Chain A
Amino acid sequence: MKSIKHILLTVLLLAAFSSCNGWLEVIPQDKQTSDAYWNSQEDVDAVLTSGYLYLRNMTISYLIPLGELRGGSIYSITTNKLQSFQVKPTDESLCNWGPFYQIVNIANVVLADAKKAQEKDDTYEDEELKAHYCEAYFLRALSYFYLVRNWREVPLITTAYEDDSHTYNVAKSSEAEIIKQIKSDILAALNTGAAKETYNTTWETKGRATKWALDALMADVCLWSEDYSIAIQYCDNLMNAHSGNAPALMTTATHAKWFSMFNPGNSNESIFELQWEYQENQTNTLPVLFDNINTNKKYQLSSKLLEEFKLEYVYTQDNVLEAVRSLYGGFFTENPLTWESATNGYVWKYCGSQTLTDKRTATYYDPNFILYRMADVFLMKAEALVLKSDSKADWKEAIILVDSIRQRSNLEKWGFSDDYNEEDLLKKILYERRMELVGEGKCWYDLLRFGRRSNNKYKTTFLVDNVTLYNRQAGESWLISVMSNDDALFLPVSESELKANSLLVQNPYYY
């Protein structure tokens, strides 16, 4: 009997040994698991950094084509369905909103989990945590701003998809709801008071979200939602800032100074720009895409815009080389002195080196992509001033702002006249934006904003007429007929997304 007890005991013991659930906890050895993440300030930083990295990686295939091609200032040499307004739900590469949501998720994850890291990391100060929140809010707001401008109605997601506890199927929210969320994100960031004015390095100060970037974004969003007073207020935050760290409009009217905004970049005028660094093996194809010779060139100035650039020369005929914006920002021709005969325009901002005739060599294939700079802010304020009221004083101030941009490019001032009406002023502002910000991914959103405001008051003047005037890649009647449908101004939801998210409804134009 002794041995029986022995056996029974052993069996029981063996059972007890094994029964622990812990034995079934097998963790992959070759991966960084979520449970073991969020230990330190650096962990939060690294996740935020991936948000910027994702945004940067979208420049070539999303930010530029989405912002430019439909506007017509710049066109793609190869056929592109965006510029011919023929995007279909099956054109996944053109209407996939996934990359934007990837950044949204990064922001959501940081907002949800940064606190966990703070609990484990004693050196992680409250102030730092809040500063990280600010960056997350900025990234989320910016992503949704892109989404709302391209798709108008999109699912509003503010929960972090780290595990499967949230439903994947989310219905669209209205434009107003998205805008509301964007504003509340920016306000939440600014209200922490921890938004940084500057970082330890220049590239971070210009390449990560600062207080200034939040202000600029807010002004942009308010212009879109027609809250002009608030837009002015946020422009003023930048223009009247007393801080020594505040960006300021570059005013020196020399080409060298003007071009320093793009090469080497990170100028004092810059508010937020996406960074590349050749030294770190981070290059882009912007110089190639906008080049005139390279076989991989992709974008050119539309013929209408080229003519307009040529006209600007007229102002500086005495000294063609000081046609700062035209020559150094706008278009490039092999010999600047024969500009009149130029037939193809190339955006020199990205492919040019410091001097007029030298192009970037491969070691300088790292131009940054600027999302906000002070000239943009000046023009935004001007726009808001014109629309805020009928006050002639405001209108005059607006023209002064526009002229300050022209002056630094050695261009003739517009000057103010009492005969100007709202439309005249807006035309001047829109013209200025097109010329100054060419190739910076703004054109289409400007046309859309100008055209849709005040219940499509200026839809024909600013949107339809401009698109048909500049966009030569599609027939005029086709463009007019497409744009007569407000839904057609926005992209379709991609076919695969519709299948994957059962609550989504297609943009009615694409049924």
Chain B
Amino acid sequence: MNRKIVGLMIFMILLASQVLQAQGVRYIKGKVYEIINNKKEPSTGVNVVISTEQNRLLIGTITNSMGEYSLKVPADDAYKVVFSFIGMKPQTFRYTGQTELNVTMEEDAHSLSDVVITEQRQVKSEMGITMREQTSATQKINMDEIVKNLPVASVEEALQGRMSGVDIIASGDPGAKSSIRIRGTATLNSNSDPLIVINGVPYKTKINDSFNFSTANQEDYADMLNISPTDIETIEVLKDAASTAVYGTSGANGVLLITTKKGVKGNTHFTISSKETAKIEPNAIPMLNGDQYVAFIQDAIWNTANAQGIANSADYLKKLFDTPEINYNPDWRYFDEYNANTDWLSYIKKNAFISDNSFSMSGGGDKATYRFSIAQLNEGGTTVGTELKRLTTSLNIGYSFSDKLKVNADFAYSDADKKAPWTSSVRAEALSKMPNKSPFWIDDQTGLATDKYFTRQNSQEFQGAFNSSSGSSNYHPIIMANESYSNTKQKEENMTFRLNYDILSGLTYIGYVSMKFNTAKYRTFLPQSATDVTIDNTYANLSSDGYSNNLALQSENKLLYRKNWNQMHNIVATVLWRTSQSVSSNYSTEIYGASSAGMSDPVTGGSIKSLGSSNSEVRTLSGIGNFNYTLMDRYILNGTVNYEGNSSLGNANRWGLFPSLGFAWHAQEEDFLKDVEWLEQLKFRASIGQSGQAPSGTAPYVGTYKSIGQYVTGEAITPYSMQLNKLKWESSTESDFGVDLGFFNNQLTMTFDYYYKYTDDLLQEKVTIPSSAGYNDQSNKISYFNSGALSNRGWEYRIDYEIFKNEDWMLSSNFNINRNINTIETLPENLIESVYKFSNGEYAQKLIAGTPVGSFFGYKYDGVYQNTEETYARDAEGNVMVNLFDDPIVMKNGKYTCYPGDAKYVDLNNDGIINEKDIIYIGNSMPLVTGGGGFNVKYKNLSVTTFFHYRLGQKIINKARMESESMYGTDNQSKAVLRRWRNEGDDTTIPRALWNYGLNYLGSDRFVEDCSFLRLKTLSVSYNVPKNVCKKLYTNSINIFLTGYDMFTWTNYTGQDPEVSLPTGIKDLAFDNAQTPRSRRFAAGISVNF
């Protein structure tokens, strides 16, 4: 590979050096003037160059202080002599052997607008195809409009709800990963994120699979797209297989094409913008206070003791009367600390600020253009301890050697620093903490809290000792938020060198070499004070340090041919060869028992808990041919073939062939529609294409042997993983039918698309094989297996309407709506469903071929048994069932006999017992429709923009509510439980409190909620300071804006935030785990251009 890159470099250098070859000895000299105050003055610093007919620069100089120049003229051929200066009209003279040439420069008032005109050429895609010639579904948005007055930190956030078919769920914490899905999830276990392409170069964010930090929560380390939104010019989304085909298989989940801003010819422009945003945390769900909590716990224990019967309740009564934490016992040494009234959440949430400042500078002349930018973002989190700081800089230089040869170099550097507490469960912990406990020691004299943390958290304590499993619980949430950390520092350098050469008229060569180097450093620390574990515990002062780096090299060589015959036939043909190589390595160390928080660095001592390191490498090659033919400017046929090889697959199935074909018809060009004046565009599109997904990781197909120890003195080596020669590409076929409509000079445009994507040979990761194959010690797993099929079908509709426009007023609106249905077509072999556990809080999971994924199964909740009569079991006719002695049979929840006050579930099979057989379908987490829309109103220099985002018809298990209403353990509960059932006649749906007993919160529809929402995502007012005022301030333009973000949400959902991230695996159920809710944000900013 390196040979190849070196080859390309040498080749480019050769081209450049050819330019400098001198071919004879002739001179030309002269003097350059300009007119100043009607007087001819010598002009200094004028650019004088000799160039070929194709404007290839051969030699050049600038005039001295006397306006004089002298140049050596190369031999042979015909040349031009060009004089240029910024703000002057360039002058060109044919070289005919002159030895002296004097010139007078003239001012050029229109150079800026000239530039604009040349820039308005038809924009062509990477494949040299114009929008008009496309046969596939794409949508392009201009970032400037969005970014200018919105407080967005990331590209994902900016795009949310704006593009049809692109479903983004952003996270509430700074720097946390958002999930982006284009037209649904079409793969089970391999990567389902879309490919991001920046200026034509695929940007791979995924850190390799063998990334194995022992402590890492991989989602957290997920890679941010380290690019400042203000540097982005446009973003285009490619959705169907026919359009993504040119990006190879990595574009199988859709492609986001990002084009960054470039320097443009003309005077140097400076833009400074500054944005300050306040984040205001939404109101929390009210929790019980100290007294209410104690009363509830006592109630719960007493109820259980009663339900158990006197004979068995000794333990409970002891618990009830002998637990000092929940009793009034002033002699107890911790009495003060357990008779407080603490709102734990208030200590770990805060309002925060985001400040976002950027500066950019751009300009250029005939030969070279440049743009430099630097942006800094400081985003505070609403959970204490979370923060994101990011610095991004970029430099873009373009240079034209001639009209034929252009080179372009991009450099980008970013430095992101993300801070978070050691565990992401701080909020959940704060909510569940007993409110009668004080976070601080109480001074016995004054009765006031001291500044010393009260850390008692052990097995004798009422809520128990620190528990590290399942997201960890029982720790001091305030210390966790303030002193623990899980920090990520990421640095990324990105360099791309591009070359454009017009070989012949219509035939162009474009090539690039790109290098991206990413290093990430992770540090985590869990102070012992937060957990109060003993110092020999493996969680005492647990500290880890990890480092990973990744080098991605990519190159592409492309030949593009474009020709038109008699305005009848138009062809665009492309062939390209692309290579990519990604090499990663990482290590991590984890220690515990460091003597103090200050010694948290792993090298300072302590006992090693784990060590890890790994290397990985993935290479791909792909050859792509694309052919686009347009007949009579109305019938378009487009075909692409991608032949791609991936190092993650074995020799037999390494190469995949993925063809696609598209057709489009511009009906408005037909004679019978030509006269319809209001119809601007009527374009029908149809396409079908194939794509693939390769497994990830370093050659996961390779079989391995491993040493497993010794039998006495004999070394034992065993087959450890199987060689997977049959492993192959996961293949998908997508068809798309669309219509683009434009009316009244495109004042009203609409796009409708229907798609169907069928994914076969699904790649399943870590698949269980029968243990009879002999891999018992490896848990009978193989790394990947192709099996099963999945389909995504749906439609997208988008409308843009410029309702009114005149000199002063402009009113426009847009709206999009999308529907995606994800169905398991063939259930993968060996897909083992998680076994349903008949216990509180558990939902059943069923994966059935032909049904959409994301379904919940559970019990039907029917309120509370009010009296003994109601607890009698009834048959299908509603008659009370009796036993042999004619006594009524009492309902049972599992093995627990129901008493008044217990949860009542619908006994579907009328057998008197609530058990697995009473489970039915109770909802699905996939939204019915998603989308967004908004209005823009403009009056002179004032504009108001609104944008709404919605997801409708989606259900979610409100686990946060379940846990705060379960009344089962020691966790604090929400104020809702004050309505719990206590006596007959209590009109409530909340059962009685039971301490570690009964089945009062089985997974039922009680906690399944509709989380549809409509959210006013942005409301922005911006004002462009009038030109004449700007002129006085020596600026080109000034823009001031005020934006409210996530201000209102219309929803029936009772949780804090209906925008809940969905699980990635199809086997996981969608839970609301009380993540940080999105806060309301108010931003004010200014952008100055001069």
Do residues A29 and B615 form an inter-chain contact, with CB atoms below 8 A?
yes
Instruction: Please pick, from A34, A52, A164, A502, the residue contacting B705 in the complex, using a CB distance under 8 A.
Output: A34
**Residue of B714, B727, B772, B774 with most chain A CB atoms under a 10 A cut-off:** B772
**Residue of B1, B645, B646, B718 with most chain A CB atoms under a 10 A cut-off:** B718
User: Interface with B: A10-18, A416-424, A459-467, which one?
Assistant: A10-18
Chain B residues, CB < 8 A from A29: 615
Q: In the assembled complex, how far is the CB of residue B701 from the closest CB belonging to chain A, in whole angstroms?
A: 9
Q: In the assembled complex, how far is the CB of residue A351 from the closest CB belonging to chain B, in whole angstroms?
A: 22
Q: In the assembled complex, how far is the CB of residue B502 from the closest CB belonging to chain A, in whole angstroms?
A: 11
B562-586: which residues lie under 8 A (CB-CB) from chain A?
577, 579
Do residues B771 and A33 form an inter-chain contact, with CB atoms below 8 A?
no
Does chain A have a CB within 8 A of B710? yes
Chain A residues, CB < 8 A from B718: 47, 50, 54, 106
Do residues B712 and A282 form an inter-chain contact, with CB atoms below 8 A?
yes
Do residues B725 and A164 form an inter-chain contact, with CB atoms below 8 A?
yes
Instruction: Please pick, from A14, A27, A34, A280, the residue contacting B4 in the complex, using a CB distance under 8 A.
Output: A14
Chain B residues, CB < 8 A from A154: 772
Do residues B704 and A34 form an inter-chain contact, with CB atoms below 8 A?
yes
Does chain B have a CB within 8 A of A104? yes
Does chain B have a CB within 8 A of A37? yes
Do residues B711 and A32 form an inter-chain contact, with CB atoms below 8 A?
no
CA distance A276 to B715 in the complex (A): 14
**Contact flag A497-B702 (CB < 8 Å), given A102-B777, A105-B719:** no
Across the interface, name the chain A residue whose C-beta is closest to B5: A14
Does chain B have a CB within 8 A of A46? yes
Does chain A have a CB within 8 A of B501? yes
Does chain A have a CB within 8 A of B800? no
Instruction: Please pick, from A34, A35, A97, the residue contacting B771 in the complex, using a CB distance under 8 A.
Output: A97
Q: In the assembled complex, how far is the CB of residue B358 from the closest CB belonging to chain A, in whole angstroms?
A: 39
**Contact flag A17-B15 (CB < 8 Å), given A26-B617, A30-B615, A31-B704:** no
Does chain A have a CB within 8 A of B355? no
Chain A residues, CB < 8 A from B557: 11, 14-15
Q: In the assembled complex, how far is the CB of residue B525 from the closest CB belonging to chain A, in whole angstroms?
A: 28
**Contact flag A164-B719 (CB < 8 Å), given A31-B702, A500-B832:** no
Do residues A101 and B776 form an inter-chain contact, with CB atoms below 8 A?
yes
Do residues A207 and B712 form an inter-chain contact, with CB atoms below 8 A?
yes
Does chain A have a CB within 8 A of B8? yes
Across the interface, name the chain A residue whose C-beta is closest to B709: A53
Chain A residues, CB < 8 A from B651: 21, 25
Do residues B15 and A3 form an inter-chain contact, with CB atoms below 8 A?
yes
**Contact flag A502-B614 (CB < 8 Å), given A50-B716, A164-B727:** no
Across the interface, name the chain B residue whose C-beta is closest to A30: B615
Does chain A have a CB within 8 A of B782? yes
**Contact flag A162-B723 (CB < 8 Å), given A11-B509, A21-B651:** yes
Chain A residues, CB < 8 A from B830: 499-500
A99-122: which residues lie under 8 A (CB-CB) from chain B?
99, 101-106, 108-109
Chain B residues, CB < 8 A from A19: 621
Do residues A3 and B18 form an inter-chain contact, with CB atoms below 8 A?
yes
**Contact flag A203-B712 (CB < 8 Å), given A3-B15, A101-B773, A101-B774:** yes
CA distance A97 to B776 in the complex (A): 9
**Contact flag A30-B614 (CB < 8 Å), given A17-B4, A50-B718, A96-B776:** yes
Instruction: Please pick, from B617, B623, B726, the residue contacting A164 in the complex, using a CB distance under 8 A.
Output: B726
Instruction: Please pick, from B618, B707, B719, B832, the residue contacting A109 in the complex, using a CB distance under 8 A.
Output: B719
Do residues B702 and A34 form an inter-chain contact, with CB atoms below 8 A?
yes
Do residues B713 and A26 form an inter-chain contact, with CB atoms below 8 A?
no
CA distance A169 to B712 in the complex (A): 36
Interface of A is mostly: helix
Does chain B have a CB within 8 A of A336? no
Query: A22-66 interface mask toward B, CB cutoff 8 Å, 1 = contact, 0 = none?
Result: 011111111111110100001101110110111010000000000
Do residues A168 and B705 form an inter-chain contact, with CB atoms below 8 A?
no
CA distance A108 to B713 in the complex (A): 23
Query: A147-169 interface mask toward B, CB cutoff 8 Å, 1 = contact, 0 = none?
Result: 00000001101000111110011
Chain A residues, CB < 8 A from B704: 28, 31-34
CA distance A104 to B772 in the complex (A): 9
Across the interface, name the chain B residue whose C-beta is closest to A107: B774
Do residues A162 and B769 form an inter-chain contact, with CB atoms below 8 A?
no
Instruction: Please pick, from B615, B699, B705, B775, the residue contacting A37 in the complex, using a CB distance under 8 A.
Output: B705
Does chain B have a CB within 8 A of A86? no
**Contact flag A23-B621 (CB < 8 Å), given A29-B615, A500-B768:** yes
CA distance A34 to B722 in the complex (A): 8
Q: In the assembled complex, how far is the CB of residue A163 from the closest CB belonging to chain B, in whole angstroms?
A: 4
A161-213: which residues lie under 8 A (CB-CB) from chain B?
161-165, 168-170, 203-204, 207
Do residues A53 and B716 form an inter-chain contact, with CB atoms below 8 A?
yes
Does chain A have a CB within 8 A of B285? no
Does chain B have a CB within 8 A of A484? no
Across the interface, name the chain B residue whose C-beta is closest to A143: B774
Do residues B726 and A25 form an inter-chain contact, with CB atoms below 8 A?
no
Does chain B have a CB within 8 A of A244? no
Do residues A163 and B647 form an inter-chain contact, with CB atoms below 8 A?
no
Do residues B645 and A24 form an inter-chain contact, with CB atoms below 8 A?
yes
Across the interface, name the chain A residue whose C-beta is closest to B3: A17
Instruction: Please pick, from A4, A53, A161, A207, the residue contacting B773 in the complex, using a CB distance under 8 A.
Output: A161
Across the interface, name the chain B residue whose C-beta is closest to A156: B772
Do residues B716 and A7 form an inter-chain contact, with CB atoms below 8 A?
no
Instruction: Please pick, from B654, B699, B717, B769, the residue contacting A21 in the complex, using a CB distance under 8 A.
Output: B654
Chain B residues, CB < 8 A from A32: 704-706, 717
Do residues A155 and B772 form an inter-chain contact, with CB atoms below 8 A?
yes
Does chain B have a CB within 8 A of A317? no
Do residues A163 and B712 form an inter-chain contact, with CB atoms below 8 A?
no
Do residues A49 and B829 form an inter-chain contact, with CB atoms below 8 A?
no
Does chain A have a CB within 8 A of B7? yes
Do residues A164 and B782 form an inter-chain contact, with CB atoms below 8 A?
yes
Do residues B702 and A105 form an inter-chain contact, with CB atoms below 8 A?
no
Query: B51-73 interface mask toward A, CB cutoff 8 Å, 1 = contact, 0 = none?
Result: 00000000000000000000000
Does chain A have a CB within 8 A of B619? yes
Do residues B8 and A101 form an inter-chain contact, with CB atoms below 8 A?
no
Chain A residues, CB < 8 A from B295: none
Does chain B have a CB within 8 A of A284? no
Does chain B have a CB within 8 A of A357? no
Does chain A have a CB within 8 A of B703? yes
Chain B residues, CB < 8 A from A11: 509, 557, 559, 577
CA distance A162 to B722 in the complex (A): 5
Do residues B774 and A105 form an inter-chain contact, with CB atoms below 8 A?
yes
Do residues A104 and B774 form an inter-chain contact, with CB atoms below 8 A?
yes
Chain A residues, CB < 8 A from B18: 3
Q: In the assembled complex, how far is the CB of residue B87 from the closest CB belonging to chain A, in whole angstroms?
A: 35
Query: B762-787 interface mask toward A, CB cutoff 8 Å, 1 = contact, 0 = none?
Result: 00000011111111110010100000
CA distance A496 to B705 in the complex (A): 25
Chain A residues, CB < 8 A from B647: 24-26
CA distance A168 to B785 in the complex (A): 12
CA distance A495 to B852 in the complex (A): 26
**Residue of B709, B768, B776, B835 with most chain A CB atoms under a 10 A cut-off:** B776
Do residues A49 and B621 form an inter-chain contact, with CB atoms below 8 A?
no
Does chain B have a CB within 8 A of A98? yes
Instruction: Please pick, from B616, B621, B710, B717, the residue contacting A280 in the complex, using a CB distance under 8 A.
Output: B710
Chain B residues, CB < 8 A from A497: 770-772
CA distance A466 to B396 in the complex (A): 89
Chain A residues, CB < 8 A from B619: 23-24, 26
Show 25 residue pairs from A and B whose CB-CB distance is below 8 angstroms, ordered by the A residue: A6-B14, A11-B557, A19-B621, A23-B1, A26-B619, A26-B647, A27-B702, A28-B616, A28-B699, A28-B704, A30-B614, A31-B706, A32-B717, A33-B705, A34-B705, A35-B702, A45-B714, A46-B707, A47-B705, A52-B716, A54-B777, A99-B776, A106-B774, A164-B782, A282-B712
Q: What residues of chain B have their CB less than 8 Å away from a CB belonging to chain A?
A: 1, 3-4, 7-8, 11, 14-15, 18, 501, 503-504, 509, 557, 559, 577, 579, 614-621, 623, 645-647, 651, 654-655, 698-699, 702-719, 722-727, 768-777, 780, 782, 829-830, 832, 835
| 6 new A-B contacts at CB < 8 Å, known A90-B835, A105-B774, A280-B710 | A3-B15, A31-B702, A34-B719, A49-B714, A53-B711, A204-B714
